[in-house]
A and B are shown apart, each in its own frame.
Chain A
Amino acid sequence: MTLSLKKDHKLADLFLQAKPESAGPKFFSDLKSKARLVLEEVGFPTVKAEEYKYTNISKKIADSIENPGSPSPISNLEKVEALRDLLDSIDGYQIITNNGIPEEALSDSPEGLFGLHHFTDLDASAIQEIGQIEKPENDAFSALNTFSFSQGLRIDIPDGKILKKPLVMVHYVRADENGACVYPRIFINAGKNSQASVIELTVFLNDETVFVNSVSEWAVAENAHIRHYKLQDGNKNTLEVHNTGANIHKDATLTSVVLSLEAGMIRNNLSIDLNASNCEGNMYGLYLLNGKTHVDNHTNVDHTQPHSQSNELYKGILADHSRGVFNGKIFVRQIAQKTNAFQQNNNILLSEDATVNTKPQLEIWADDVKCSHGCTTGQLDEEALFYMRARGMSKESARALLLYAFAGEVLEKISIEPFKKYCEKLVHERLGGSY
Chain B
Amino acid sequence: MSKDNEILEEFTSKEYEHGWSVNYEADEAPVGLNEDIIRWISSKKEEPQWLLDWRLKAFRHWEKMEEPTWPNVSYPKIDYQSLRYYSAPKQKSKPKSIDEIDPELLKIYERLGISLNEQKRLQGIAVDAVLDSVSVGTTFKDTLSKLGVVFCSFSEAVKEHPELVKKYLGSVVPATDNYFAALNSAVFSDGSFCYIPKGVRCPMELSTYFRINAANTGQFERTLIIAEDKSYVSYLEGCTAPQRDENQLHAAVVEIYAAENAEVKYSTVQNWFPGDKNGKGGIYNFVTKRGICAGDYSKISWTQVETGSAVTWKYPSCILKGDHSIGEFYSVAVTNNYQQADTGTKMIHIGKNTKSRIVSKGISAGKSQNSYRGQVQIMKRAVNARNFSQCDSLLMGNNCGAHTFPYIDIHNSTAQVEHEATTSKIGEDQIFYCNQRGIDSEDAVALIVNGYAKEVLNQLPMEFAVEAQKLLALTLEGSVG
Which residues of A are interface residues toward B (Cβ below 8 A)? 50, 54, 334, 337, 347, 349-352, 354-379
In the A-B complex, the 7 residue pairs with the smallest Cβ-Cβ separation, listed nearest first, are: A349-B413, A367-B395, A362-B404, A371-B423, A375-B419, A372-B422, A365-B401
Count residues on chain B whose CB falls below 8 Å from chain A CBs: 35
Contact with A along B375-401 (1 / 0, CB 8 A): 000001000000000000101111111
Q: Are A369 and B423 in contact (CB under 8 A)?
A: yes
Q: Are B423 and A372 in contact (CB under 8 A)?
A: yes
Q: Are A375 and B406 in contact (CB under 8 A)?
A: yes
Question: How many A-B contacts if CB must be within 8 Å?
Answer: 115
- The 25 listed contacts between A and B (C-beta, < 8 Å) are A54-B409, A347-B410, A349-B415, A354-B413, A355-B409, A355-B411, A356-B408, A356-B410, A357-B409, A360-B404, A361-B404, A362-B403, A363-B403, A363-B404, A365-B400, A366-B398, A367-B397, A367-B398, A367-B425, A369-B395, A371-B423, A376-B416, A377-B415, A377-B416, A379-B414
In the assembled complex, how far is the CB of residue A343 from the closest CB belonging to chain B, in whole angstroms? 9
Q: Are B416 and A363 in contact (CB under 8 A)?
A: no
Provide the bound-state CA to CA distance between A354 and B415, in Å: 11
Known: A359-B405, A375-B406. A364 touches B412 (CB 8 A): no
Which residues of B are interface residues toward A (Cβ below 8 A)? 70, 380, 393, 395-425, 481
In the assembled complex, how far is the CB of residue B449 from the closest CB belonging to chain A, in whole angstroms? 14
Q: Are B402 and A362 in contact (CB under 8 A)?
A: yes
In the assembled complex, how far is the CB of residue B386 from the closest CB belonging to chain A, in whole angstroms? 10
In the assembled complex, how far is the CB of residue B388 from the closest CB belonging to chain A, in whole angstroms? 10
In the assembled complex, how far is the CB of residue A295 from the closest CB belonging to chain B, in whole angstroms? 15
List 6 extra interface pairs beyond A350-B413, A368-B398, A369-B423, CB under 8 A: A362-B404, A362-B421, A362-B423, A370-B424, A377-B415, A377-B416
Known: A349-B410, A359-B405, A379-B416. A372 touches B421 (CB 8 A): yes
| Residues from chain A with Cβ under 8 Å of B416 in the complex | 376-379
Provide the bound-state CA to CA distance between A347 and B423, in Å: 23
Q: Are A360 and B393 in contact (CB under 8 A)?
A: no
| Residues from chain B with Cβ under 8 Å of A367 in the complex | 395-398, 400, 425, 481
| Residues from chain A with Cβ under 8 Å of B70 in the complex | 50
In the assembled complex, how far is the CB of residue B114 from the closest CB belonging to chain A, in whole angstroms? 36
Which residue of A has the minimal Cβ distance to B426?
A367
Which residue of B has the minimal Cβ distance to A370?
B424
Which residue of B has the minimal Cβ distance to A318?
B413
The interface centre, meaning the residue of A364, A367, A374 with most chain B CB atoms within 10 A of its CB, is A367
Provide the bound-state CA to CA distance between A373 and B418, in Å: 11
In the assembled complex, how far is the CB of residue A401 from the closest CB belonging to chain B, in whole angstroms? 19
In the assembled complex, how far is the CB of residue A309 from the closest CB belonging to chain B, in whole angstroms? 15
| Residues from chain B with Cβ under 8 Å of A354 in the complex | 413
Q: Are B420 and A372 in contact (CB under 8 A)?
A: yes
| Residues from chain B with Cβ under 8 Å of A355 in the complex | 409-411
In the assembled complex, how far is the CB of residue A142 from the closest CB belonging to chain B, in whole angstroms? 23
